[in-house]
């Protein structure tokens, strides 16, 4: 009966039951916040009747069922948030006239079908999150030229599409995650022109081709995760220019050649994973990467000796150099890694004895030195016992 009501906020309580049908009579509502309660039932078609809505938030519910087609009549909607429910079936938008849409969050449901094609038809979309659903099909066409984008998370679906054709240049974009889908093709040089991009995560897809040199121009990049794809060729030395890079994961691809020599200039690097490739040559000198706490170069074709400089990584917690062609003795300097928890040097051609300095590795909980040519005494420490 509150015919003049424009804003309704009942969030973060312990409300139970279903939303009354009479909410559809509140014709002047612009904002509805009912998130973080214990409401349940099917998602009401009546919300589609409230065409004045600009802000809808119904997250953290036990809603089930589908989003009705009449939701597409919400032409004034700016913030659309239905995440972490149990909504399923197709999202069917009757009109798709979301010309005012800035945020669209539907992650953590059980949606199937295709993502709405015109989600950025108004050119205002900033945040788009639909991860952890069952979406299929290609990327919405309106995303390619959606220069307003700031944050996108579509990971954990079954989306397909050519990476070189589905995305454009996004001057405001800071975060993009597309992991665990079925995307293919080569990465476009356009990513290098996303000057505010801080995180790019596209692991566990079918991306192929070479890594574009232009990626080194994304000067604000902090996290680059391209694990478990089919990217080949050399790792571009241009990545060594990314001075803010914290995490680099290129494992599980087909990279060959040597690790770029200038990676030692990545002084902020904390995690480097290049495992399961076809890299050859020496383990790179990473002496200036003082902040490293994860270094994984396993299952490659790296040869010669373990660099003494690794002993300078005072924050290193995980070191994996297994399944290479390393030879010579294990450096005593590894005993200086006081924070080291996991060490794997197995499946190499290391010789000599286990360094006595390993007695100082008090944080070590897991060690694997098998399949080498070691001899002598075993240290009397927690990890070995």
Quote the percentage of the chain above a pLDDT of 90: 60
Measured distance CA(24)–CA(169) in Å, rounded: 40
Write down the pLDDT at residue 293: 95
Give the tens place of pLDDT for each residue, 31-61.
888 888 877 766 656 565 666 778 777 765 6
Q: Which of 70-74, 120-124, 204-208, 254-258 has the lowest mean pLDDT?
A: 70-74
pLDDT of 253 > 90? The answer is yes
What's the pLDDT band for 274 if we cut at 50, 70, 90?
Answer: very high
pLDDT of 233 > 70? The answer is yes
Backbone angles phi, psi at 238, to 5 degrees: -60, -25
The better pLDDT of the pair 39, 348 is held by: 348
pLDDT of 66 > 70? The answer is no
Measured distance CA(282)–CA(34) in Å, rounded: 58
- Average of pLDDT values for 141-157? 95
Q: In 10 A of CB 254, how many CB atoms?
A: 13
> What's the token pair of residue 18?
């279903």
Token look-up 């790019």 returns 200
pLDDT of 196 > 90? The answer is yes
Give the tens place of pLDDT for each residue, 7-39.
988 888 888 887 777 877 888 888 888 888 877
The better pLDDT of the pair 4, 66 is held by: 4
Structural domains of the chain in order of their starting residue, each with its CATH number: 1-127 (3.80.10.10)
The whole model's pTM is what? 0.91
What's the pLDDT band for 84 if we cut at 50, 70, 90?
Answer: low
Write down the pLDDT at residue 70: 58
Contact 110, 134 (CB under 8 A): yes
């Amino acid at each position: 009966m509150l015919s003049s009501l424009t804003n309704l906020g009942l969030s973060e309580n312990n409300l139970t039951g279903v939303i009354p049908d009479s909410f559809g009579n509140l014709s002047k509502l612009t904002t509805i916040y009912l998130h973080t309660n214990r409401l349940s039932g099917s998602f009401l078609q009546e919300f589609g009747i409230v065409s004045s809505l600009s802000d809808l938030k119904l997250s953290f519910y036990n809603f089930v069922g589908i989003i009705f087609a009449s939701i597409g009549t919400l032409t004034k909607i700016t913030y659309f948030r239905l995440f972490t429910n149990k909504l399923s079936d197709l999202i069917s938008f009757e009109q798709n006239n979301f010309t005012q849409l800035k945020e669209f969050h539907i992650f953590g449901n059980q949606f199937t079908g295709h993502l709405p094609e015109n989600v950025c038809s108004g050119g205002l979309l900033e945040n788009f999150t639909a991860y952890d659903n069952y979406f299929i099909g290609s990327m919405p066409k309106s995303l390619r030229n959606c220069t307003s984008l700031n944050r996108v998370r579509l990971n954990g679906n079954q989306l397909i599409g050519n990476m070189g054709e589905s995305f454009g240049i996004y001057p405001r974009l800071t975060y993009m995650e597309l992991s665990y889908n079925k995307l293919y093709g080569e990465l476009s040089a356009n990513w290098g022109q996303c000057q505010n991009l801080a995180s790019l995560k596209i692991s566990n897809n079918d991306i192929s081709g070479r890594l574009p040199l232009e990626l080194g121009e994304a000067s604000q990049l902090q996290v680059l995760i391209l694990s478990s794809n089919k990217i080949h060729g050399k790792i571009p030395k241009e990545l060594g220019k990314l001075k803010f890079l914290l995490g680099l994961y290129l494992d599980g691809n087909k990279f060959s050649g040597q690790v770029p020599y200038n990676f030692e200039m990545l002084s902020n690097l904390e995690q480097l994973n290049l495992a399961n490739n076809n890299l050859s040559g020496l383990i790179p000198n990473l002496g200036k990467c003082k902040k490293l706490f994860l270094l994984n170069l396993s299952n490659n074709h790296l040869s010669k000796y373990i660099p003494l400089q690794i002993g300078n990584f005072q924050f290193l917690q995980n070191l994996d150099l297994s399944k290479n062609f390393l030879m010579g003795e294990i450096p005593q300097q590894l005993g200086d890694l006081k924070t080291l928890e996991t060490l794997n040097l197995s499946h190499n051609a290391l010789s000599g004895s286990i360094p006595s300095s390993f007695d100082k590795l008090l944080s070590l909980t897991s060690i694997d030195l098998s399949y080498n040519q070691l001899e002598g005494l075993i240290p009397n420490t927690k990890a070995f016992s």
